[in-house]
Chains A and B, each alone.
Chain A
Amino acid sequence: MARILVVDDEPEVQETLKRRLERADHTVHCAGTTEAALSMLVAGGPAFEIVITDMSMECENSGVEILESALHRDSLTAVIILTAYGNVRNAVTCMQMGAYDYVEKNIPDVDVFDLLALKANRAAQQIRDRRSGNVSIIRGKNVA
């Protein structure tokens, strides 16, 4: 389905996300640091279609750097920001910068893994539609 980069400094989180998304037929690569993620984003080969990144790793706004780099490489990349904090200000900033979505890791009563798989599937579908010329609204700012 889609090429996905998962960025999180917690190996267990990388592993569980990879497993869940692979189950949904995506190809999943993982990075444990901002630096590793940035080098994977600029590496040769096709761009990642979806990037799921933790917001706070080395610093509080690590996710923003990854978001910028991913969109710089391919403005169609769907970046989903993950956070352990319900920081609304961060969410608004990321959405304004062109993030595809913003998901809190610890929403009570919600299976976030299923939710992420759902969002990844939807994003992959939208990207495919857009590439094939079907009209689709992905997000505000980066879409003409």
Chain B
Amino acid sequence: MNDAFVNRANLLLSRALLHHEAQAVIDDTLIEAVQSTSSLRSFVAGIDPATGLMEVVAAQGRDWSPRDKDSRLAVHNTTQCGITAWAAITSQPYVAQNVQSDTHYVRHFDDVMSESALPILDSEGLVQAVLNVQSNKIAWYTPERVVMLQMLANVVGAALVTQTFVRRERALGQIGLELAAASSRDHLTRKVLDLVVSTLHCQACSLFLMDETRTRLILHSARGSLQEQVGEAAYEIGEGLTGTVASTGKPIRLDDPRHDSRWRGRFSEITPDGMGAFLAAPVYYRERVLGVLRVSRPRNTPSWFQARFTESDERILCATGAQLGSALETQNAFDARLKNERMAAWGELSARSVHMVGNKTFAIKGHVNEIKYHVHTLPEEHQQPLGELTDSMEQSIYRLEDILTEFRDFLTATQLNPRKCSLNSLLHETAQECYLHHNNVHVHECYDDGLPQIVADATRLKRALSELLENAVSFMPNGGTVRITTSLGRSRPGPGVTNCVIAEINDTGTGVPAELKEQIFRPFFSTRSRGMGLGLSIVKGVVEAHGGEIREIGTVGSGALFQISLPAAVDEEVN
């Protein structure tokens, strides 16, 4: 091996590594291979990681037709597959010193007498391509020439690996740009799926996102056969491989997922039998998993070829998941801000309206008061019809004021003036005030004396509790029992909140049917004739403003059971 060759090979290597001219370097390396070994021609065939098929990526030397340069090599695990495929299958260099007597050789050019095929490995030791060199002389490829060709094969390998890195780096950069530029959530996810498909060479890619309850993953968008199931395909958290990624927040990479015990194959981009390799990464923001991004590859026709995803593929998908998570969270925060601004504007508008309507109502009330006074000065026979009219007007004004009060309570449910207080005392006082007016209702109060204090706006919370008690009474027209209990709740996860106190209000009315359990807390839901139907939505608003939760957990026939949990005051926590 002469110094001039080594220098040229070094120069090619530095171009491959430092200047990222993959295609030009490969072409020049093939020319070098032909010239330095006095061969007829040479080519490089790359392996498609998705299909396992070999494809000519560059060719130099004599007699190449454009069709040859685009050709794909059939790769079969048989002796008659050609020495290029054989080198790929075995990962070993193969030299056919006399092609006429070689068992693996398949003839393409008539002038070839001997031929070498050298596998080119990637960073994980897998064959990514094969360098093939052909000569018109028998036994031309001496050990020294093979070593020279091996050096050149390494140059091609370096060029291909660098090219992959550069492509992936660009793809990640592109994803970053797309995420920043995306105008909507759908646009964002579409772009990300396209980039994942092209970067990871896979036909199928799916994005599952958590639903609002954070208990299920729903297919949000897909490339491949799952596209028709968008919005329908769903996994419970922890179910199957996809659900496991969501529950653990860790990626899963498998060469053959069918043998994994977690594999369910419920919604598969590829038919379960054809499934080759599986890779799924969490889409997350900080510690919170927002969804799962997954790709898969079919099991391939060449039986020697194991469809797989590499560690580098996993890193790319994880990085994409993290970027997507961050972008989705930004989009969510933006949507929430927009919604809050709109809500704030509506709130302001509503508050002003209530104020103005209240003032006008007050003035009308004054006029009615005056009319009533004048009616009393009239002769008695005129008093009755006019008196009935003014009474009716007065009643209408009072109902209008009821509505204003309810509406105002709804608007101000979240404006708190919190102090430390005892939930037991609040409940007891509210119960006393409420049931003074209802003789036919029995109240059982059962309080946990060891209950920690809460931080609450006593006035608002009492009004909310009073609404619940009045609600209970209204569903027991013939009387009944209301049981009020408090207890210490179990610890809740999440920073800052460890303990909570629970209040339960259970009546002996008809109860709430399962299908109405959520609806009853919505504004304007009412089965009563009076008021606007804001009652329970105000209660919910007040409880949530205190950092608590309210649910109806009773069963029809056993009465309604409202359960309120509120965070305990911080220095009152029970360990």
On whether the two chains bind one another, the answer is yes
Is there an interface contact between B398 and A109, defined as CB atoms closer than 8 Å? yes
Is there an interface contact between A20 and B358, defined as CB atoms closer than 8 Å? no
Q: Per-position contact with B for A44-58: 1 when CB-CB < 8 Å, else 0? A: 000000000000100
| Chain A residue with Cβ nearest B351 | A85
Complex CA gap A10/B364 in Å reads 12
* A19 interfacial by beta-carbon distance below 8 Å: yes
Complex CA gap A86/B363 in Å reads 17
* B354 interfacial by beta-carbon distance below 8 Å: yes
* A27 interfacial by beta-carbon distance below 8 Å: no
| Interface residue from B361, B373, B394, B459 paired with A106 (Cβ < 8 Å) | B361
* B229 interfacial by beta-carbon distance below 8 Å: no
| Chain B residue with Cβ nearest A82 | B362
Complex CA gap A23/B361 in Å reads 21
| Chain B residue with Cβ nearest A54 | B359
> Which residues of chain B are near A111, meaning CB under 8 Å?
365, 369, 394
A20 with B405, Cβ < 8 A, contacts A84-B358, A85-B355, A105-B359 known: no
Interface residues of B in 345-391 (CB under 8 A from A): 354-355, 358-363, 365-367, 369-370, 373
Q: How many residues of A contact B (CB 8 A)?
A: 24
| Chain B residue with Cβ nearest A114 | B369
| Interface residue from B355, B363, B394, B398 paired with A12 (Cβ < 8 Å) | B363
Complex CA gap A86/B358 in Å reads 11
> Which residues of chain B are near A99, meaning CB under 8 Å?
none
Complex CA gap A64/B369 in Å reads 28
Q: How far is the CB of A65 from chain B (nearest CB, A)?
A: 18
| Chain B residue with Cβ nearest A8 | B359
Is there an interface contact between B354 and A16, defined as CB atoms closer than 8 Å? no
Interface residues of B in 390-449 (CB under 8 A from A): 394, 398-399, 401-402, 404-405, 408, 417
Q: How far is the CB of A122 from chain B (nearest CB, A)?
A: 18
A56 with B459, Cβ < 8 A, contacts A16-B366, A112-B362, A112-B365 known: no
A88 with B459, Cβ < 8 A, contacts A105-B358, A105-B359, A106-B361 known: yes
Q: How far is the CB of B418 from chain A (nearest CB, A)?
A: 12
> Which residues of chain B are near A95, meaning CB under 8 Å?
none
Interface residues of A in 105-138 (CB under 8 A from B): 105-109, 111-114
A13 with B363, Cβ < 8 A, contacts A106-B401, A108-B402 known: yes
Complex CA gap A15/B363 in Å reads 8
> Which residues of chain A are near B359, meaning CB under 8 Å?
10, 13, 84, 105
Is there an interface contact between B401 and A108, defined as CB atoms closer than 8 Å? yes
* A17 interfacial by beta-carbon distance below 8 Å: yes
| Chain A residue with Cβ nearest B398 | A108
> Which residues of chain A are near B459, meaning CB under 8 Å?
88
| Interface residue from B355, B360, B369, B401 paired with A113 (Cβ < 8 Å) | B369
Complex CA gap A16/B402 in Å reads 22
Complex CA gap A19/B366 in Å reads 9
Chain B, interface residues (CB within 8 Å), range:
20 to 34
> Which residues of chain A are near B408, meaning CB under 8 Å?
85-86
A106 with B358, Cβ < 8 A, contacts A13-B363, A86-B408, A111-B369 known: yes
Complex CA gap A91/B242 in Å reads 57
Residue of A16, A19, A88 most packed against chain B (CB within 10 A): A16
Q: How far is the CB of A120 from chain B (nearest CB, A)?
A: 14
Complex CA gap A111/B394 in Å reads 9
> Which residues of chain B are near A84, meaning CB under 8 Å?
354-355, 358-359, 362
Is there an interface contact between B401 and A20, defined as CB atoms closer than 8 Å? no
A16 with B369, Cβ < 8 A, contacts A56-B355, A105-B358, A106-B362 known: yes
Q: How far is the CB of A35 from chain B (nearest CB, A)?
A: 19
Complex CA gap A72/B33 in Å reads 105
Complex CA gap A55/B366 in Å reads 18
> Which residues of chain A are near B405, meaning CB under 8 Å?
86, 106, 108
Is there an interface contact between B370 and A16, defined as CB atoms closer than 8 Å? yes
> Which residues of chain B are near A86, meaning CB under 8 Å?
405, 408
> Which residues of chain A are near B398, meaning CB under 8 Å?
108-109
Complex CA gap A85/B369 in Å reads 21
| Chain A residue with Cβ nearest B394 | A111
| Chain A residue with Cβ nearest B356 | A84
* A141 interfacial by beta-carbon distance below 8 Å: no
Complex CA gap A107/B358 in Å reads 10
A13 with B366, Cβ < 8 A, contacts A106-B358, A108-B401 known: yes
A residues with a Cβ closer than 8 A to B are: 10, 12-13, 15-17, 19-20, 23, 56, 84-86, 88-89, 105-109, 111-114
- A sample of 17 inter-chain contacts (CB < 8 A) reads A10-B362, A13-B362, A15-B366, A20-B366, A20-B369, A89-B417, A105-B359, A106-B358, A106-B362, A106-B405, A108-B399, A108-B405, A109-B398, A111-B365, A111-B394, A112-B362, A114-B369
Extra inter-chain contacts (15) besides given A107-B401, A113-B369, CB under 8 Å? A15-B366, A16-B366, A16-B367, A20-B366, A85-B354, A85-B408, A86-B408, A105-B361, A106-B362, A108-B402, A109-B398, A111-B365, A111-B394, A113-B366, A114-B369
B residues with a Cβ closer than 8 A to A are: 354-355, 358-363, 365-367, 369-370, 373, 394, 398-399, 401-402, 404-405, 408, 417, 459
Q: Which 8 A-B pairs have the closest CB atoms?
A: A16-B366, A84-B358, A12-B363, A105-B362, A113-B369, A108-B401, A106-B401, A108-B398
